[in-house]
Amino acid sequence: MSMFCYQCQETAKGTGCEVRGVCGKNEEVAKLQDLLIYVTKGISEVVVKGKLDVKSISEVNHEVLKSLFITITNANFDGDAIEVQINKMIGLRNELKKQVHGVTFGDAAAFEVSDRPSMLEKASKVGVLSTENEDVRSLREMIIYGLKGMAAYTHHALNIGKEDIDINAFIYEALDATLNDSLSADDLVALTLKTGEFGVKAMALLDEANTSKYGNPEITSVNIGVRNNPGILISGHDLTDLEQLMEQTKDTGVDVYTHGEMLPAHYYPFFKKYDNFAGNYGGSWWQQVTEFEPFNGPILFTTNCIVPPRSEEIRKRIFTSGASGYPECPHITADENGKKDFSEIIAMAKQCKPPVEIESGSIVGGFAHNQVFALADKVVDAVKSGAIKKFFVMAGCDGRMKSREYYTEFAKKLPKDTVILTAGCAKFRYNKLELGDIGGIPRVLDAGQCNDSYSLVVIALKLKEIFELEDVNDLPIAYNIAWYEQKAVIVLLALLYLGVKNIHLGPSLPGFLSPNVAKVLVEKFGIAGIGQVEDDIKLFMGE
């Protein structure tokens, strides 16, 4: 075995990628990511054992977020960039240690490496499998994957200038705990739920950051056709990158289109003022393998999810920013004021042909909490009259596996008196279907990006209050969540922390759940996988 990674839904055989990632991550990059996580744990140990004041180490706080984010599935395939980050983290760790006296640290806080070969050698001893007990390993990794998702959301909020130091402090606490061999499985289960608690805080922070800067999402019809100008395609979750790109492209004759998780940017009032914000091009992240070619113009990845480009022609049109990276693709970094210069991308776009139309029409979204509250009377009346029988939360991720056709079929076959609440790229499995509406309420309500699952939680809690229920599980809401990468892990942990029971998770249960840990999730929280569409619908509808 040359590498081991089982953090995403596509992991080889459902158990672990051991030679090369199904995602395209090679052995070297996988190992460098393992080492980056290890040094981040070491920093956490220094902060926790050294009782350092988290408020006073903001550079370290920010680099820890970035390091975790870099290791999310499909975010960064650039070994050189990860090596640079490892060295930076070792440097920060050693500086921090100078502030601490009389404390003995373990290996993660002490190891040194001098070059790539020594990094790879060290990495092979500190990866996932270095925890021998499979239940402890499972719980540790579930916590770490939740932290990766949390770090991504916290990093986006930070880019908008919003921080919650308690989240950073928790990340240190939890990472340090993953090094602690004296913690029992019960301790780690408790820490898993606490991770969910901080996941809620991180999503709330990002919601506050996004809405205070860009306004509250509102019902919006988004064009999915094309115009005649050259275009730039922007993908990922970072709205500050989009803002800067819009500022720099306005009046240049270059249009900007969203791809994948950037679609919900159209729902924010702020971005509507840009005439060249043309629409959304294509479907979810994995469809880039066929959609980037006809797009013709440059593509900017602001976060995950990158699929290694199949042709040199496409690779030459790819740019990355933030935590994302791909070998030989230009990476646009921010200056000390957070400003990014996208002129190279704009210049390239001007030389490119306009995008080829691959579909036409529009899709409707923008049903985040504020917009849904504005419709609350209508929604409540529809529930009371029986016009809406049940809501289905179908948030989460999409992916390329054939088994995900389940979600399209599920949406199609749901009874007509049900409404789908969605967020994240999972929506691309059914957001272009003609599912109609119930008394003017569309049957698919898209709140936004995966982090906007927070909105769905806020909506659920509001309904609980309106219907004067004791328990959120007494609402007519079922949860059929699709997962792929680690942001979905933090969304799941957040739901568990909030007491949501009987969540169905698919298209397959995580490979990182050991049989015993899976058993706990089933017994304590009623977590289940998915089955056949018709059977599942009957089950959910209580028939």
Span of 20-28, 105-113, 289-297, 469-477 interacting with ligand SF4 by CB under 6 A: 20-28
* Binding-site string for ligand SF3 from residue 402 to residue 441, where x marks contact by CB under 6 A and - marks none: ----------------------xx----------------
Helix 134-159 and helix 58-70, axial crossing angle in degrees, nearest 10: 120
- Are the C-beta atoms of 193 and 493 separated by less than 8 Å? yes
The pair of structure tokens assigned to 112 is: 């040194």
- Are the C-beta atoms of 352 and 230 separated by less than 8 Å? yes
Q: Give me the amino acid identity at 9.
A: Q
Q: Which does 430 bind (CB under 5 to 8 A by kind): ligand SF3, ligand SF4, none?
A: none
- Are the C-beta atoms of 257 and 280 separated by less than 8 Å? yes
For 51-89, the DSSP string reads: T--GGG-HHHHHHHHHHHHHTSTTTB--HHHHHHHHHHH
Q: Does residue 287 interact with ligand SF4 by CB under 6 A?
A: no
Q: Say if residue 329 carries a ligand binding annotation.
A: no
Q: Does residue 129 interact with ligand SF4 by CB under 6 A?
A: no
Q: Does residue 10 interact with ligand SF3 by CB under 6 A?
A: no
Q: Does residue 363 interact with ligand SF4 by CB under 6 A?
A: no
Q: Does residue 449 interact with ligand SF3 by CB under 6 A?
A: yes
Q: Does residue 17 interact with ligand SF4 by CB under 6 A?
A: yes
Q: How far is the CB of 366 from ligand SF4 (least distance, A)?
A: 31
Identity of the residue, 41 or 259, whose beta carbon is nearer to ligand SF3 in the bound complex:
259
Q: Which does 397 bind (CB under 5 to 8 A by kind): ligand SF3, ligand SF4, none?
A: ligand SF3
Q: Does residue 453 interact with ligand SF4 by CB under 6 A?
A: no
How many residues belong to the site for ligand SF4 (CB under 6 A)?
13
Neighbours of 308 (CB within 10 A): 16
The dihedral built from the CA positions of residue 268, 444, 529 and 525, taken in this order, carries a sign that is positive
Answer whether the bond into residue 269 is a cis peptide, omega within 30°: no
Q: Does residue 11 interact with ligand SF4 by CB under 6 A?
A: yes
Cα separation, 407 vs 398, in Å, equals: 9
Rule CB under 6 A: choose which of 304, 324, 418, 453 binds ligand SF3. Answer: 304
Task: Identify the H or E element spanning 334.
Answer: none
Identity of the residue, 63 or 261, whose beta carbon is nearer to ligand SF3 in the bound complex:
261
| Nearest residue relative to ligand SF4 (C-beta) | 21
Span of 290-298, 412-420, 461-469, 480-488 interacting with ligand SF3 by CB under 6 A: 480-488
Answer whether the bond into residue 305 is a cis peptide, omega within 30°: yes
Q: Does residue 239 interact with ligand SF3 by CB under 6 A?
A: no
Nearest Cα to Cα of residue 487 among 148, 187, 170: 148
- Are the C-beta atoms of 109 and 179 separated by less than 8 Å? no
Strand-pair category, 437-438 with 441-442: antiparallel
Q: How far is the CB of 110 from ligand SF4 (least distance, A)?
A: 27
Q: Say if residue 425 carries a ligand binding annotation.
A: yes
Q: How far is the CB of 201 from ligand SF4 (least distance, A)?
A: 26
Strand-pair category, 299-301 with 231-235: parallel
Q: How far is the CB of 399 from ligand SF3 (least distance, A)?
A: 7
Q: Say if residue 305 carries a ligand binding annotation.
A: yes
Neighbours of 24 (CB within 10 A): 14
Counting every residue, how long is the chain? 543
The b/e string for 210-245 (b: 16+ C-beta within 10 A; e otherwise) is bbebbebbbbbebbbebeebbbbbbbbbbbbbbbbb
Q: Does residue 230 interact with ligand SF3 by CB under 6 A?
A: no
- Are the C-beta atoms of 504 and 536 separated by less than 8 Å? yes
Q: How far is the CB of 34 from ligand SF4 (least distance, A)?
A: 11
Identity of the residue, 71 or 431, whose beta carbon is nearer to ligand SF4 in the bound complex:
71
Rule CB under 6 A: choose which of 260, 264, 279, 448 binds ligand SF3. Answer: 260
Q: Say if residue 397 carries a ligand binding annotation.
A: yes
| Nearest residue relative to ligand SF3 (C-beta) | 397
End-to-end CA distance of the chain: 47
Q: Does residue 76 interact with ligand SF4 by CB under 6 A?
A: no
Binding residues: 5, 8, 17, 23, 237, 261, 305, 397, 425, 450, 485, 487
- Residues forming contacts to ligand SF4 in the complex (CB under 6 A) are 5-8, 10-11, 17, 21-23, 25, 30, 73
